[in-house]
Amino acid sequence: MEIFIMLSTILIGILLLFIYHQMTYWSNKGVPHIKIIPIIGNRFVTLIFGGPSMPEFSKQIYNQFPDAKYIGLMMFNSPVILLKDLELIKDVCVKNFDFCPDHQSFIDERMDPILGKNVFSLRGERWREIRSALSPSFTTSKMKFLFQLILKVSDDFINYFDNHSDITNMIDVKDAFTRYTNDVIATSAFGISVDSMQNRENEFYLRGKDATNLTGTRRILKFMAGIIFPRLMRLAGQTYLSKDTNKFFVDLIHKTVKMRDEKGIVRPDMIHLLMQARDSAGFEMTIDDIVAQAFIFFLAGFDTSSTLMSFVCHQLAYHPDVQSRLRQEIDSLTSDNENNESFSYDIITKMKYMDMVINETLRLYPPVVILDRVCVKSFDLPSPTPNTNGITVSPGSKIWIAAYAMHRDPKYFSNPDEFIPDRFNDENKDNILPYSFVPFGIGPRKCIGERFGMMETKLLLARILQKFIIKPTEKSTKDIIIDRSSLNLVPKGGIWLQFAKRN
């Protein structure tokens, strides 16, 4: 009995110290901070149990202290600094990048090589090595190399709707565009041809949906637990991917690389570029490294590009003047409106109004709601408000930049909830403050596949507008509500549109 009382007393003491640390951490430093709930920290738990969507939650915390350069958050017992001042964002993510060079990740490469070894998750010198080896794969010449593969996929997509006019009155565009990006990644990154519009239950598509699914209480709980309790998740042997999905992609790439090495097969795709990087890198690049880079290319492109295209089409459906102007640009740059022979990489890059439309959509719906960094070397931050002191950021501290909230801050963008592509025309884009528009990240950790994602997006949008007029349907809603049960930007109820053939 005495032992039980002693153990209970120790546990209560530990719990009280834990709560004391939580409740006093930011107030002791004099940093404006969001109200903390004992044990829970800030209200991240509401994301799991029916609270606001992740974008709305980020806006709520961002707007609490409008004049502060940064604010303090507490994720369970882990302090987080939310940067709001653009100069500080520049200092941390660019100027003094070496102090906070890494992303937060609970994936250990020894436990899960396919996710732990990719360029997003890697840290320190290994990240620098892999990033430098991959960078040549995304030059203009390599994009032209991949463009012809993507053109064939866009051809299949357009022909499907051209030949199935009975379904064009009511299209779930997110589903359709996910099938397109699936096929793009399958051919350009994995070296296989898949027609997901015709073969709707193919394994590559189903595995992709499983890998990118962040919807539902179980998935969100697992994801949040990985961020809050990374060591516990590693000890428990928890992985992000299901075992079957992990095995599918590992086996696929292993077989492809082995066959190409043995038979000297050359195909103009990402596997070939990664094999070239392996052979020319001044360091060891294993088959697991190739698997990891090919997969993160898939993971990043499968959902984000299809979501972007869905949001663009939604805006075009409800802004017919913008759609008409964009179609005029496409028609003026393509001499043959009957097939894809007039499309080339150079023509796609000349579509300036297309860039404006996409950028304005990215402002409203950035692919990542919150950007993150992890401190590895101590550095000082100035005072967050005029009447407070500066702080020293310790190694292990987490840094957040609320991209979604910042993009909708009226301080940076007038009428921030309105769709106005001309914000990004030649006359106005120079007025956009640096680091206030960060859809693909910031600094050396900026998304390496940005150019590829823009290429596949612009190509398909151009081909759709060349053939069809995008219109709302009776299932369409002008105002998009983001699904609360997902950490991604998933529209509640989907986005349903009509593709009406042009006369």
Whether residue 392 is predicted with pLDDT greater than 70 in this model: the reply is yes
Place of tokens 């409800």: 318
Tokens of 265: 């097969």
- Rounded to 5 degrees, what are φ and ψ at 37? -100, 125
- State the residue for tokens 């509401």: 46
In the numeric block, the tokens 């151009």 are attached to 462
Over residues 10-27, the mean pLDDT reads 75
Q: Which residues contact 260 (CB under 8 A, 6 or more apart)?
A: 266, 267, 271, 272, 275
Taking only the tens place, the pLDDT of each residue in 78-113 is: 889 999 999 999 999 999 999 999 888 656 566 566
| pLDDT at site 213 | 65
Q: Please give the pLDDT value at position 481.
A: 86
3-state class percentages of the chain: helix first, strand second, coil last, to nearest 5: 55, 10, 35
Q: Is 328 helix (H, G, I), strand (E, B) or coil?
A: helix
pLDDT reported for residue 337? 47
SS3 17: helix
Cα separation of 226 and 41, whole Å?
Answer: 16
Per DSSP, the chain holds a count of helices (H) and strands (E) of: 18, 9
Question: pLDDT grade, residue 326 (50/70/90)?
Answer: very high
- The rounded distance, in Å, linking the Cα atoms of 251 and 324 is 46
- Higher-pLDDT residue of 498 and 4 is 498
Query: 């809603």: which residue's tokens?
Result: 477
Please write the tens of the pLDDT for every residue from 137-187: 788 888 888 898 899 999 999 999 999 888 999 999 999 999 999 999 888
Say if CB 116 and CB 288 are below 8 A apart. no
To which H or E segment does residue 311 belong? Answer: helix 287-318
Two structure tokens written together for 429: 């884009």
User: Could you read off the pLDDT of 274-324 as tens digits, one per residue?
Assistant: 888 888 777 778 888 888 888 777 777 778 899 999 999 999 999 999 999
Rounded average pLDDT over 362-377: 94
What is the rounded average pLDDT for all residues in the chain? Answer: 85
* CA 469/CA 492 separation, integer angstroms: 24
Are 361 and 489 in contact by the 8 Å Cβ rule? The answer is: no
398/413 Cα distance (integer angstroms): 27
Residue 260 contacts residue 79 (beta carbons within 8 Å): no
Percent of the chain with pLDDT over 70: 86
DSSP conformation letters of 128-144: HHHHHHHGGGGSHHHHH
Q: Is 93 annotated as a binding residue?
A: no
φ, ψ of residue 470 to 5 degrees: the values are -90, 125
